[in-house]
Amino acid sequence: MSSLLRFNKLRNNIWSSCPSRLLMQHAGFSSAKNVDPRSYGKRHFTTRVQETDSLHGAGPGSCISGIQPFRFQQTSEHDRSATILIFDTETTGYFHKNNRIVEFALRDLSGGKNSTFETLINPERDVPKFLSAVNNITTALVCRPDVPRFGDVLPLLLAYVRSRQTPGKPVIWVAHNAKTFDAPFLAQEFDRCSAQMPEDWLFVDSLRLARKLPKLPKSDENIHLLNLVALSKRYGISVEKPAHRAMQDVTMLCQVFQRITFHLKLTYEGLVNEAIKATDFSKVPK
């Protein structure tokens, strides 16, 4: 299959039409003629870039309260150019060496159009039933020919991130327990594709940041804990119920992360100091 045909096949599964030209350019294609926007809404989607005028303008049922375009405590010239991506992965298990990603979602904290990216991923293996019970992601849902493998999503993801990145500035990826869970999983998938994560990608673990918050006394509602739900409760963020779907968790973490950075008076420099280089997770030699 030619790379262009493959791109179009994948692109047909993307809901939004807006970023197609941009993604094509970043993915190295010279023309967007073969991408037909009319087909987007007709297909079962597995990958989508959300097209909203703002984080608050996604329409009924999709309004995200509490998320504002991100600003650091002490503004500096770096703040305007920092690209901060909140992300989350759903997987087939805990340990990245034996398991695969089945869903990936991210949100650019700067907001604006096309600020989200989410996709199901074909893990090419069964999803354990006890995990399907947690996140409703079943083997039948993801192990299908029209669900892209990570290797298929990779060029789109790289192109998307590049389209959000300020040239010459790093991309800061934030996830809860990123250090031991999300980042190693992502690195493992890159390794499986024999790909190297860009050197200017940095990973920040919001769990590590949360541990720096003042400790609360133990309570029946468990708001002294540091998981996402507990932190949401702590900051008065409404939680319907633990979703364990990537984009829902990303949305929750967006709000939690902004409050943590505010609480800790974290600056851009402080955040970078907390970060781990993407290359520290990868085993693929440069």
Candidate segments 40-48, 124-132, 161-169, 194-202, binder of DNA by CB under 7 A: 124-132
Residue positions annotated with a catalytic role? 244
* DSSP type of residue 113: T
Phi (first) and psi of residue 208, to 5 degrees:
-65, -40
Candidate segments 39-47, 155-163, 220-228, 259-267, binder of DNA by CB under 7 A: 220-228
The sheet with strand 276-277 has its strands ordered as 47-50, 116-120, 101-108, 83-91, 171-175, 201-205, 276-277
Candidate segments 9-17, 42-50, 73-81, 125-133, binder of DNA by CB under 7 A: 125-133
CA 57 to chain centre: 20
- Residue 89, classed as helix, strand or coil, is strand
Question: Does 90 contact DNA by CB under 7 A?
Answer: yes
Identity of the residue numbered 53? D
Candidate segments 28-36, 55-63, 113-121, 225-233, binder of DNA by CB under 7 A: 225-233
Question: Does 177 contact DNA by CB under 7 A?
Answer: yes
Greatest pairwise CA separation for the chain in angstroms: 60
Least distance between DNA and beta carbon 274 (Å)? 10
CA distance readout (Å), 58 to 42, 100, 247, 256, 275:
20, 31, 14, 20, 31
Q: Which of 104, 117, 181, 203 binds DNA (CB under 7 A)?
A: 181
96 or 164, CB closer to DNA? Answer: 96
- Comparing CA positions, the residue from 204, 266, 257, 251 lying closest to residue 231 is 257
Least distance between DNA and beta carbon 87 (Å)? 10
Q: Which of 64, 134, 158, 264 binds DNA (CB under 7 A)?
A: 134
161 or 247, CB closer to DNA? Answer: 247
Question: Does 179 contact DNA by CB under 7 A?
Answer: yes
* Cα gap 123→120, rounded to integer Å: 9
Question: Does 88 contact DNA by CB under 7 A?
Answer: yes
Least distance between DNA and beta carbon 226 (Å)? 3
* Cα gap 139→145, rounded to integer Å: 12
Least distance between DNA and beta carbon 144 (Å)? 18
Identity of the residue numbered 99? N
Question: Does 223 contact DNA by CB under 7 A?
Answer: no
Site string for DNA, 28-57 (x = CB under 7 A): ------------------------------
Contacts of 103 (CB under 8 A, 6+ apart): 89, 90, 118, 119, 120, 121, 135, 137, 142, 245, 246
Question: Does 207 contact DNA by CB under 7 A?
Answer: yes
List interacting residues with DNA (CB under 7 A): 88-91, 93-95, 103, 128, 130-131, 134-135, 176-177, 179-181, 207-208, 211, 215, 225-228, 230, 244, 249
